[in-house]
Amino acid sequence: MKKTEQPKPFNRRAFLETAGYGAATLMLWPFISSCDGQSSNTASPVVNPDFRPDIDLELSAVEREIPILSGSKTKAWVFEGSVIKGDKEALQTTEGSYLGPTIKVKKGQKIRIRFQNTIPEETIVHWHGMHVTSENDGHPKDVIHSGETYIYEYEVMNRAGTYWYHPHPHGRTGPQVYNGLAGLLLVTDEEEEQLNLPQGEFDRPIVIQDRSFDEDNQLVYIQSRMDSMRGFLGEQILINGTAEKVLNLKSGCAYRLRLLNGSNSRIYKLAWEDGSPITVIGIDGSLLSVPKELPYLMLGPAKRADVWLDLTDKPEGTRLTMKNASFPLEVMSGGMMMDGGETSLPQGSEYEVFTVKTTSSGSNEYSLPQQLVKSNYLDPSTAENLNNPRQFSFAMDHMDWTINGRTWETTGVVDEETVKLGSTEVWELINSSSMMGNNRGGGMMGNGGMMGGDDGMMSGGMMGNMMQMPHPVHIHQVQFNILERDVSDVDPQLWEAIKEGFINEGWQDTVLLMPGMKAKVIMEFKDFKGLFVYHCHNLEHEDMGMMRNFKIT
């Protein structure tokens, strides 16, 4: 039974344990005077009576038992929601799934979300890809305890696109998402509406995740140190939070498939098994200006792609499988393989992801527009630092996952992470775990000293250099344009197998950096000052500290 019929009175937030709460909290709790009052936190555990939401939602993180496999139900943590005020269609639930409800909003709408935490640990919800203030962003410093409520109130300022939401407590994002806490957040706008894209039953979410279960159907997470260094890889693929991987669609119809890679660390190289190209119409936070056909699509963790599927001339009974095509990603080189990190579904192996089956026929009048949205991309010449981009290097350093040598600090931020409100900047995001030479700081293996270090153990630095890991890099608060990818340090054999699967167009918030890859992204810091995070979206890397703040001043 849900006990969320009525908005509950607020509970106090967890500000005693965590520094950095701001002015509004102090006003509510004037008797707590030891907090530093310097951040501009205006979110509060009570609703703001002056904020008039178009949609007022309640969302709870709860423990549930979900029938995922046949036999025992699976214990999961799930988001459940209800609409307090506004269009009831704003929340759409999938039966028998652990995924949270899909939230559907329109640009310009004001939404309030009363988030209640009832799982037995701290959490906070982040709206991935959304352009919101710091206090509405689900920053790890804003975690709330079990039993507490956090109120989000913001106007939807994003373009039409496929966004999502998930927890963001430091150190526990991986297990919380793994246990089921995630959902889609779909934004539409006028420009999109004019395109007459497939809607309702023809607009299908496809959330791809990998999970492992024990004999009693319970979720199994990290089993070894290697699992956590590499990132979790599950033994089976789930679609939309269920084991049902066949989508029953109608022949004679066209569909919009909203793919989300909601996996903790798995990378997909998606390809239709019959060899037909994948038609991508949107990526992350935007539609593309024109549809793009790819032989296969690389989809790193947290990335979304909207795909056009035309079943108009597929007879009833057709089966179309989306598979993962293979690519050679060797995580460790030099003969050191990771032990304990084995999975029956290795990264880069070939397997089925989902299957579309035409079980009935119908017709709809959707046709693929040749022109989608105006691109309005940022003009590189407006960037303050086009020829001298900020560089952020993602690497392992002494067994820690780091960004420019630093690891997570709750509110810590340095000069090179501070940007000006109103500025447009280029950032160069670098995966420096390359075996191809040119590694920052030198120290490549080539000297044969694999067993270096004081006592015959591998030293952290060695380990770091030996470990080639993809890093899907995500920046909060913005949508960026990708200016270029430098692949000169990427293993040519790997690059050859994946190079046609990347999309640089569109407005994106996450960029998959394969080992050795560098990407230049351009973005504008607008509307809101404050503290936001950027991080690797391999959730195990993120939890181990591959996350930093950046500050807009």
CB of 544 to ligand C2O, least distance (A): 14
Q: How far apart are CA 74 and CA 179, in angstroms?
A: 10
Q: How far apart are CA 59 and CA 489, in angstroms?
A: 44
535 binds, among Cu ion, ligand C2O, none (CB under 5 to 8 A by kind): ligand C2O
Q: What is the DSSP letter of 437?
A: S
Q: What is the size of the binding site for ligand C2O (CB under 6 A)?
A: 10
| x/- map, 527-546, ligand C2O, by CB under 6 A | ------x-x-x---------
Q: How far apart are CA 396 and CA 443, in angstroms?
A: 13
Q: Is 474 in the site for ligand C2O (CB under 6 A)?
A: yes
CB of 127 to ligand C2O, least distance (A): 9
For residue 531 the two structure tokens come to 């503290």
Q: What is the DSSP letter of 214?
A: -
- Closer to ligand C2O by Cβ: residue 163 or 272: 163
Q: Are 205 and 260 in contact (CB under 8 A)?
A: yes
- Closer to ligand C2O by Cβ: residue 76 or 533: 533
Concatenated DSSP letters for 142-192? G-B-TT-EEEEEEE--SPSEEEEEEE--TTTHHHHHHTT--EEEEEE-HHH
Measured from each CB, the residue nearest to ligand C2O is: 128
Binding positions for Cu ion, 449-478, rule CB under 5 A: 471, 476
Q: Is 476 in the site for ligand C2O (CB under 6 A)?
A: yes
Q: Are 538 and 264 in contact (CB under 8 A)?
A: yes
Name the residue type at position 75: K
Q: Is 536 in the site for Cu ion (CB under 5 A)?
A: yes
Phi, psi of 193 (to 5 degrees): -60, -35
- Closer to ligand C2O by Cβ: residue 166 or 518: 166
- Closer to ligand C2O by Cβ: residue 106 or 128: 128
Q: Which of 104, 131, 141, 166 binds ligand C2O (CB under 6 A)?
A: 166
Q: Are 376 and 266 in contact (CB under 8 A)?
A: no
Binding positions for ligand C2O, 292-311, rule CB under 6 A: 302
- Closer to ligand C2O by Cβ: residue 126 or 292: 126
Q: Is 139 in the site for Cu ion (CB under 5 A)?
A: no
CB of 362 to ligand C2O, least distance (A): 36
- Closer to Cu ion by Cβ: residue 182 or 322: 182
Q: Is 166 in the site for Cu ion (CB under 5 A)?
A: no
Which value, to the nearest 10 degrees, does the dihedral of the CA atoms of residues 236, 240, 243, 248 take? -120
Q: What is the DSSP letter of 494?
A: H
Q: Are 81 and 100 in contact (CB under 8 A)?
A: yes
Binding positions for Cu ion, 170-209, rule CB under 5 A: none
166 binds, among ligand C2O, Cu ion, none (CB under 5 to 8 A by kind): ligand C2O
Q: Are 206 and 240 in contact (CB under 8 A)?
A: yes
Which residues here bind Cu ion, judged by CB under 5 A? 128, 471, 476, 536, 538, 541
Which residues here bind ligand C2O, judged by CB under 6 A? 126, 128, 166, 168, 302, 474, 476, 533, 535, 537
